[in-house]
Chain A
Amino acid sequence: MIEYLIRRLLFLIPVLLIVSIVAYMVIELPPGDYLTTHIMRLRAAGTHVAEDEIARLTRMFGLDKPPHIRYFLWIWKIVRYGDLGLSFQWNKPVTEVIGERLALTMTISIITLLFSWTIGILIGIYSATHQYSIFDYSFTFLGFIGVSIPSYLLALVIMYFVYSRFGLAVTGLFSPAYADAPWSIHKVLDLLSHIWLPVVIIGTGGTAGIARIMRGTLLDELRKQYVITARAKGLPERRLIFKYPVRIAINPLISSISWLLPSIISGETITSIVLNLPTCGPVLFRALMTQDEYLAGSFILILSSLAIIGALIADLVLAWIDPRIRYEKMEG
């Protein structure tokens, strides 16, 4: 187990390196930079910008050095000081801009993950034990639709229905009274009363996927002989199903985190733009639009790393629970 763990952790290093290069490409790719735009805007507004002031700013942001040097400087600052650079647009360190929003993104992602799992597994169990019943068919059909509707379109449609029924705009995560208030128990409660909607919207696709996998594996498991033996011995049906087949069928689902988590983070990004949630999505979008390069790059870096580390944890948990996988992976 420890050998497996070390190998996986070592593998993480090249992966994160690739991710950081991708994120850096995001920073470097757009033609021009924020500083030029900023100075042009200042000049257009009639403010006099002295040449040495420009030179000072250029040096401060490291824009006078070649790209690859800037990459190493960027990485070095992150690794050494946890400094992600400066957001031009907010005129604040990136870490300050990102902090609370990242926490909210993670909260929503984790709750969505749990939601998808719970509902997906329950539906999967029901569908498998009542195969070809009306509910099984309707769940399967709804599942197909759930997989086919992207979260942001679902958000749009729900926004429309709530607006046309109740005249309310379902945006944001907090009531106006709590939006800028410091954190308190009441603010947490307020958050909880708003968070369910984005969770349902983002989680629908994943839930449908989980239910489909759960149904398939559980059906395979229910056909096995030990189930027949247990049934012949007179074990109550409920205990029979939950004691062994369900537990075995849940195992492969743990590895589903490796695709579920990236898709949840993806869905969260775009849904939060549509619903204007105070999470990473809208800020990332605005940063990309205004070429606030360090902010955008940091978001890409952090969101991607989150997905990768989440997948790694899932793999480790799976290896810990299921020794078969542990050995298979060590040999292979």
Chain B
Amino acid sequence: MEFEEKAINSTEEKEEKIYLASQWQLIWWKFKRHRLAMVAFFVLIVFYFIAICCEFISPTDPYQRSQFIYAPPQKIRFWDSKSGFSLRPFVYGYKIERDPITFENIYKEDVTAKYKIYFFVRGFEYKLFGLFPTNIHLFGVKDGYIFLFGTDQLGRDMFSRIMYGTRISLSVGLVGVAISFILGLILGGLSGYMGGNIDNIIQRIIDVLISLPTIPLWLAFAAAVPQDWSPLKVYFITTIILSIFGWTTLARTIRGKLLSMREEDFVMAARLCGASTSRIILRHMLPGFASYIIVSLTLAIPNMILGETALSYLGVGLRPPVISWGVLLQDAQDVRTIGLHPWMLYPCIFVVLAVLMFNFLGDGLRDAADPYAR
């Protein structure tokens, strides 16, 4: 009897909790149930952590050249035939032989050269967050060298280069989406709130932009960027080019929500109370569709990342010395290069992983965006 009462109480409590929960709490609860989206969420946190402190995670200076040209990735080992198992991981050095016909380096593992991997090693100097000068790195070797993902045609460490590329590639997504967001908010807001001819014109422009093939147009605009511009300028113009075609979906979402919400009672009430237009939109309507905006933004980021990668890959987006995943893939254009040095394709894995994670996250957010729907 007592037990039953308790059970009833707990369900009542549960219901009450649901009634009292804010919209964002409900969204979070629903989002937590989407396993893949949760995993994606944490993977992306890791990605952005790498983007923020790529210098800390890179064991080697990504611009530093070495004598090891196109060296294959070193394997992390715990087992040595001489000293047996050791808890501290290590890598073997390279033994270089020369191919008598092609004169290319052939790399063999040099079992005598054993480089132990330590955490928090001192290495090249950098400024953490661009502020604090330090030389401590997450991991590294005290003497010798470590190339976990091999090296490129100038003997530079691919692992460090990919870590640095994460910063540029992922931030292009955010900056690009921020620009699209502003465009989408203004144009979608105008369209939805004003209605009439303005709405008609903006909607037709969106129709046209959506039905255009993006890559040829991106290529065309990016190719028009002068070669002598500074890397920073090229970075921003590239994101702007990507956003020119990226704001449309967002503007559509905002317009649709504004249109459906314009007729709601609470908007009428606010208007009767004498609230200004901007106050009605920002204070009363925006919270109502903020979750949908976040979903559209999340799903727009991967397109930006892919766009940047495509442009840089073809050599019309970002250019060396800037490091992005697309710039790194520029070196993997030739079949023979990637056939002989498949680790040059590793940036691919990161691109696909980041895009996949954003898609999972967006999918989970979309389900959670409307917590009142069944």
Contact = CB atoms under 8 A, between A and B. Distances in A.
Interface of A: 11, 14-15, 18-19, 22, 26, 29-31, 144-145, 147-150, 152-153, 156-157, 159-160, 163-164, 169, 171, 258-259, 262-263, 265-267, 269-270, 273-274, 284-285, 288-289, 296, 299-300, 303-304, 307-308, 311
Given A145-B356, A156-B338, A262-B212, A288 B316 contact: yes
Contacts of A160: 335, 338-339, 342, 345
B309 interface: yes
A19 B216 CA distance: 13
A285 B221 CA distance: 12
Contact of A258 (B210, B215, B338, B355): B210
Contacts of B356: 144-145, 148
Contacts of B329: 153, 156
Contacts of B205: 18
Given A159-B338, A163-B335, A150 B210 contact: no
B363 to A, nearest CB: 8
B212 A156 contact: no
Nearest to B219: A288
B335 A159 contact: yes
A269 B219 contact: yes
B348 interface: yes
Nearest to A170: B335
Contacts of A289: 223, 316
B259 to A, nearest CB: 13
Contacts of A299: 216
A157 B314 contact: no
Interface in B324-372: 329, 332-333, 335-336, 338-339, 342, 345, 348, 351-352, 355-356, 359-360, 363
10 contacts: A11-B204, A144-B356, A144-B359, A148-B355, A153-B309, A156-B332, A159-B335, A169-B336, A270-B215, A308-B212
A307 B342 CA distance: 36
Nearest to A302: B216
Interface in B287-334: 302, 306, 309-310, 313-314, 316, 329, 332-333
Chain B interface size range: 35 or more
B256 to A, nearest CB: 14
B45 interface: no
A154 B269 CA distance: 54
Nearest to A147: B359
Q: Closest 8 CB pairs between A and B?
A: A288-B223, A266-B215, A265-B213, A29-B224, A163-B339, A148-B356, A26-B220, A266-B213
B341 to A, nearest CB: 10
Contact of B302 (A148, A164, A273): A148
B224 A153 contact: no
B214 A270 contact: no
Contact of A284 (B207, B219, B224, B309): B219
Contacts of B339: 160, 163-164
B208 interface: yes
Interface in B152-202: none
Interface string B51-80: 000000000000000000000000000000
Contacts of B333: 274
A148 B213 contact: no
Interface string B131-160: 000000000000000000000000000000
B18 interface: no
Nearest to B342: A160
Interface in B213-235: 213-217, 219-221, 223-224, 226
A159 B344 CA distance: 13
B211 A169 contact: no
A153 B223 contact: no
Nearest to A109: B213
A104 to B, nearest CB: 16
A148 to B, nearest CB: 4
A271 B344 CA distance: 19
Given A26-B221, A29-B224, A31-B226, A152 B212 contact: no
A171 B335 contact: yes
Contacts of B223: 30, 288-289, 296
B213 A156 contact: no
A156 B204 contact: no
Nearest to B212: A304
B212 A307 contact: yes
Given A26-B221, A270-B314, A300 B216 contact: yes
Contact of B211 (A22, A29, A262): A262
Contacts of A18: 205, 208
A247 B336 CA distance: 48
B338 A148 contact: no
B95 to A, nearest CB: 24
A285 B219 contact: yes
Given A22-B212, A299-B216, 11 more contacts: A14-B204, A26-B220, A144-B356, A144-B360, A148-B356, A150-B351, A262-B211, A266-B214, A288-B219, A308-B212, A311-B211
A258 B211 contact: yes
A14 B309 CA distance: 33
A289 B224 CA distance: 9
Q: Which of B205, B219, B224 has the most chain A CB atoms inside 10 A of its CB?
A: B219
B310 A152 contact: yes
A269 B329 CA distance: 18
A153 B338 contact: no
A181 to B, nearest CB: 24
B221 A303 contact: no
A156 B342 contact: no
Contacts of B335: 159-160, 163, 169, 171
B224 A262 contact: no
A261 B338 CA distance: 31
Contacts of B210: 258-259, 262
B317 to A, nearest CB: 12
Contacts of B217: 22, 26, 300, 304
A149 B177 CA distance: 20
A307 B211 contact: yes
B313 A152 contact: yes
